[in-house]
Structure 1
Amino acid sequence: EFRGNPMLATATEVQPECPELREVIRLDEWEAFLADGDAWEGELVDPDPMDACMIQYTSGTTGFPKGALLFHRGLVNNGAHTADRMGVSDGAVWICTMPLFHTGGCVLGVLSGVSKRVTLVLVEAFDPGLVLELFDTYGGATMLGVPTMLVAMLEHPDFATSDLSHVEAICSGGSTVPAPLVERFEKELGAPFTIVFGQTELSPVSSMTQTFDTIIDKANTIGPAMPHVEVKIIDTETGETVPVGTIGEYCARGYLVMHGYYEMPDATAETIDADGWLHTGDLAAMDERGYLSIEGRLKDMIIRGGENIYPKELEELLFAHPSVAEVAVVGLPDEKWGEVISAFVRPAADATIDRGELFAYLREHLAPHKTPRHWFQVDGFPLTGSGKIQKFVLRDQWVDGQWTELD
């Protein structure tokens, strides 16, 4: 059964509309393509570490993707440092569930794996049962996956009977990992669990927890900055560095910062300032040890009647409720308040979403103005190619009248 991206059909369909598209190269006719080529008679030149080698498109969780221009030095070093901090052993078996078109696969899979000389088991398309079977078959020792993948594995009926005795390192990232999920993985796998944080423009990891961190730090922080990386938290209005414990925008600087957005100089200038700091658009705080906690995205932050609401706080509380498998808290437009808080909830297996129960549950922990006004039950979320929830799609669908509120 084909479940991938029909790239050939898509390319063939759009080719008449793309006058500069000279040729579509088919991978199933690769040998014929090579035979038609001219032999290279010159000398191969060693690349400079700063040479661009990849245009990687951002995942588009808040809008249209942009092409991040990445380079050898940033990618190779970032992959190696991430494998080190994960605790991957030399020669281990790595079950690679992340797609290779994404930095989570081509950097935090291939390049991280090469740095440790691993056996890399590629998963063509993520399926939780298949991944568990591959751990069984090959004695898988390590894996990196976004939270939606890990949740699917936990919920799969084969999870309890799978042989995971070889597991030595599990890593997650791509979005905030709820505390209950961190705690469950650490307990049930008996292996160090780490969390990466960053973005495509940072090659991609800028902060990461460590294997020896406490459960509390693994659940509530994204750890300290990566080696040879600077991180600061700034006031979004003044640009000044904020005091310890204060929420502001997460900025990073170092070898890992992209060259820029491909053929988008204005967007590049908006993201990388004159001093080389990349402004991530993420809201974070730093403690006195340098450990960082993510409070949400600037674009995700809900402004209700002038009050700033951070969806992450609500999402973690809701995720801890037994009837909730996944949740996305979104700000929906409102004439009176500007935005109102709304919760899109996927129920756990064999569970029923009770709006009144969840409302009362949140009221035990939150102020009244932080409690969602609208509640929606979902079977699945719109996702990017790398498995992140696209909140702007949910917002647009609601505006278009595609959602019916729970009673």
Structure 2
Amino acid sequence: MSTTAALTTSYRPAEPGEVREATVCDLLRHAAATVPGRLALVDFGPEERREWSYAELLTDAELAARALLARYERGDRIAVWAPNSGEWVVLQHAIALAGMVLVALNPAYRGREMEFVLNQSGAAALFCPGLYRGFDMAALADDIHPRVPTLRGVHRFEDWEAFLASGDPRTELPEVQPRDLIQVQYTSGTTGFPKGAMLHHMGLVNEATFVAERAGMADGGVYVNAMPMYHIGGGAVTSFGAWAMRGTFVLLPGFDPGAVLEAFEAYRGTHTLLVPTMLIAVLDHPDLLTRELSSVQTILSGAASVPASLVRRTIATLDCQFSILFGQTESHGVVSQTRVTDTPDDQADTVGQPLPRLELKIADVQGEPVPIGAQGEICVRGYQNMLGYFDMEEETTATIDADGWLHMGDIGTLDERGFLRVTGRVKDMIVRGGMNLYPAEIEAVLLDHPAVETAAVVGVPDEHWGEQVGAVLRIRSGFERPTSAELTAFVREHIAPHKAPVYWAFAETLPMTPSGKIQKFVLREQLSTGDLVFDEVRSPTH
């Protein structure tokens, strides 16, 4: 338990803790030197299981790093647009060993999203598979390539073995420093366009270590991971937590509740991170009654509100511990976390206390701490802050103030013990199944439809997903109103399917400010009171 003295205002000083001056490269090399034969990585595919010891993982990562250095320069941004796989993990380590920078892209991205991120990041290379879920990713990559001037190479994972063999074994790998940039992770901006949060080695190493330790993971623990590697949860929190504990990272190609249970049994899994929708699916799966799950120690959850009933159900059903995470990409993933020793009430009703060496305050509009229990914006300061947004100085200054406080855009309260509660969001971001969706991006697509004059996208509460996407549209004069099926198909042509609205409403006018901005809080009030009704609903399939 934390020994911090009772707080008198909503400012919590940094809790003591050892922050390691280490890189991701150091984690892998240390494990390969001390436990070379220990199982490091499992690619838990549906038809084939592939395994790497720590010695084998380091060997492959160094081969890939030399192959990268044969083509690209230290500091180049290397984009990965692919589903989970063992090669994804090897390439992630290789990019770090080569002193380059990972740009992780959602495999559901399509043309508009891909072109923007590749150009904004100045990506030098793109790695992708040929086909994924029936979609020709390689064809789209080839189509985009001429419109991204910095992009010098497109590599297919089907050619992975040849790529590994293409480096010069005499090439010396560069010396990488703890504060070096390791990843540009894209998140939303106030304009709706993504912003690339610049993350450094030391931030990822220590944040993941502290999370694993607070979740009770011991040396050699086993993370079963179904989170996507492009997401901060899979590609940083759990994966680097496994390497920090010299443990095993069991990587599923995607989320399947039956496969999660099978992986726990097959590899004696100890820990996993599941957003609430995933966790519900696992607990409801019939295999839960037949799998041997005595190895399960701690279930971690977050990225969306975790109901108290779900916490209690998980602990009772799996006879395990629970840990709730809260944070954001700009702070290398996790800011606060409940301990496995926290009381059931604190586990159910708070998101715990800040991680070590991280200051936190609940601030008023002037940036001053509010009284204990009062609401305000959650702000953090410490080594976990991102380096800034890539090539976006103005946006960086708006997020990290002159005193070094990162303004998270979330509203919360702090009690006298330093336990944090999240009560809302400053921004209009929608959290659907643990994924952050940004209304302005969806609105921009809808406004490209010839029949749509005005579009407003809002979050709609949903028991299963946390929130669903709702759209309120004003149709242009002289146009027939499109059906929800037509609008859904149109949206999916341009952006990932899970971003398409589920609820549709149509209005003659939308509430506006004098400057012409849509007043979404008024729309939400109208929807909650029934003054505005969603009159078309489609069944969510993603």
TM range (shorter): 0.7 to 0.9
Aligned-residue offset at 1:381: 7.5
1:71 aligns with 2:210: no
C-alpha deviation, 1:133, in angstroms: 1.6
Corresponding residue for 1:339? 523
Instruction: Give the 3-state SS of the residue equivalent to 2:250 in structure 1.
Output: strand
In the TM superposition, 1:142-157 aligns within 5 A as: 142-157=271-286
1:39-77 deviations in whole A, cap 9, x for unaligned? 655x54432211111111127899332111111111101
Once the two structures are overlaid, the 10-residue window that deviates more, 254-263 or 91-100, is 91-100
Deviation at 1:127? 1.0
Indicate which of 148, 153, 158 corresponds to 1:28: 158
Question: Do the aligned residues in 1 keep the contact of 2:178 with 2:200 (CA within 8 Å)?
Answer: yes
Once the two structures are superposed, residues 301-339 of structure 1 have per-residue CA deviations (whole angstroms, 9 ceiling, x without a partner) of 99xxxxxxxx99x95xx74xxxxx344278977549832
Report deviation, 1:197.
0.7
Which residue does the alignment assign to 1:295?
423
Q: 1:240 aligns with which of 368, 377, 385?
A: 368
1:283 corresponds to which residue? 411
Q: Which residue pairs with 1:168 in the alignment? A: 297
Within 2, Cα distance between the matches of 1:98 and 1:21?
Answer: 28
Contact 2:196 2:389 in 1 (8 A): yes
Q: Secondary structure at the match of 1:74?
A: helix
Give the conservation status (yes or no) of the 8 Å contact 2:326–2:335: yes
Change (3 A) 1:14 1:73: same
- Shift of residue 187, structure 1, vs aligned partner: 1.5
Instruction: Measure, in 1, the Cα distance between the counterparts of 2:408 and 2:283.
Output: 31
Q: What is the deviation of 1:35?
A: 4.8
Does the residue aligned with 1:227 lie in a helix, a strand or coil?
Answer: coil
Question: Secondary structure at the residue paired with 1:193?
Answer: strand
Structure 1's 294 and 370: CA in aligned 2 closer, same or farther, altered over 3 A?
Answer: farther
**Code of the aligned partner of 2:323:** T
Q: In the superposition, relative to structure 1, how do residues 39 and 172 fare at CA in structure 2: closer, same or farther (>3 Å)?
A: same
The AA in structure 1 aligned to 2:540 is G
Identity over aligned residues, as a percent?
45
Aligned CA distance change for structure 1 residues 118 and 34 (closer, same or farther; 3 Å): closer
Does the residue aligned with 1:380 lie in a helix, a strand or coil? coil
2:204–2:237: 8 Å Cα contact kept in structure 1?
A: no
Q: Residue 223 of structure 1: CA displacement?
A: 0.4
Q: For the residues of structure 2 that align with 1:103 and 1:4, how far apart are their CA atoms? A: 26
What per-residue deviation string (whole Å, max 9, x for no partner) do you get for residues 131-166 of structure 1?
A: 112122222221012222112212323233332221
CA 1:238 to 1:226, structure 2 compared with 1: closer, same or farther past 3 Å? same
Q: What is the CA deviation profile of residues 183-229 of structure 1, one whole-angstrom value per residue up to 9, with x for unaligned ones?
A: 21122111110011111111111100010111111111000110111
How far is 1:182 from its partner?
1.4
Greater RCO, 1 or 2 (C-alpha within 8 Å, sep 6+): 2
Task: Look up the match of 1:185.
Answer: 314
- Residue in 1 that maps onto 2:539: 379
- Out of 337, 346, 351, which is 1:217 matched to? 346
Q: Which amino acid counterpart does residue 154 of structure 1 have in structure 2?
A: L
Distance in structure 1 (CA, Å) of the matches to 2:398 and 2:541: 30
1:6-405 matched pairs, under 5 angstroms: 7-37=137-167, 40-41=170-171, 43-58=172-187, 63-235=192-364, 237-300=365-428, 319=463, 325-328=464-467, 335=511, 338-341=522-525, 374=533, 379-380=539-540
Quick one: distance in 2 between partners of 1:121 and 1:239?
43
Per-residue CA deviation, residues 231-257 of structure 1 (Å, 9 max, x unaligned), is 00111x322211110111000111110
Code of the aligned partner of 1:9: A
Partner amino acid, structure 1, of 2:155 = I
Q: Quickly say closer, same or farther: Cα 1:261–1:63, change in 2 above 3 A.
A: same
- 1:380 maps to a residue whose letter is P
With over 3 angstroms needed to count, the CA separation of the structure-2 counterparts of 1:133 and 1:32, relative to structure 1, is closer
Query: Structure 1: where are the runs of 5+ without partners?
Result: 303-310, 320-324, 344-368, 383-407
State the AA in 2 paired with 1:175: A
2:77 equivalent in structure 1: none
Q: 1-side partners of 2:156 and 2:390: how far apart?
A: 25
Larger deviation: 27-36 or 96-105?
A: 27-36
Q: What secondary structure, in the 3-state scheme, does the structure 2 residue paired with 1:279 have?
A: strand
* Mapped contact 2:305–2:466 kept (Cα < 8 A): no
Superposed CA RMSD in Å reads 3.1
Match of 1:322 in 2: none
CA distance in 2, matches of 1:140, 1:61: 40
Count, aligned residues? 339
Q: Which amino acid is 1:18 matched to?
A: V
1:329/1:341 contact within 8 Å kept: no
Aligned partners of 2:222 and 2:271 also within 8 Å: yes
Q: Which amino acid aligns with 2:222?
A: V
Contact 1:57–1:65, Cα closer than 8 Å, also in 2: yes
In 2, are the aligned partners of 1:171 and 1:195 still within 8 Å (CA)?
Answer: yes
CA contact (8 A) 1:140 1:166 kept: yes
Q: Kindly provide the amino acid, as one letter, of the partner of residue 85 in structure 1.
A: R
8 A Cα contact 1:15 1:21, kept in partner:
yes
Distance between the aligned counterparts of 2:395 and 2:213, measured in 1? 33
* Secondary structure, aligned partner of 1:46: coil
> 1:332·1:342 contact (CA, 8 Å) conserved in 2?
no
Q: 1:292 to 1:342 in 2, by over 3 A?
A: farther
Map of 2:503 onto structure 1: none
Q: Quick one: which amino acid aligns to residue 328 of structure 1?
A: E
Q: Give 1:290 deviation, angstroms.
A: 0.4
Q: Which amino acid in 1 is paired with 2:204?
A: L
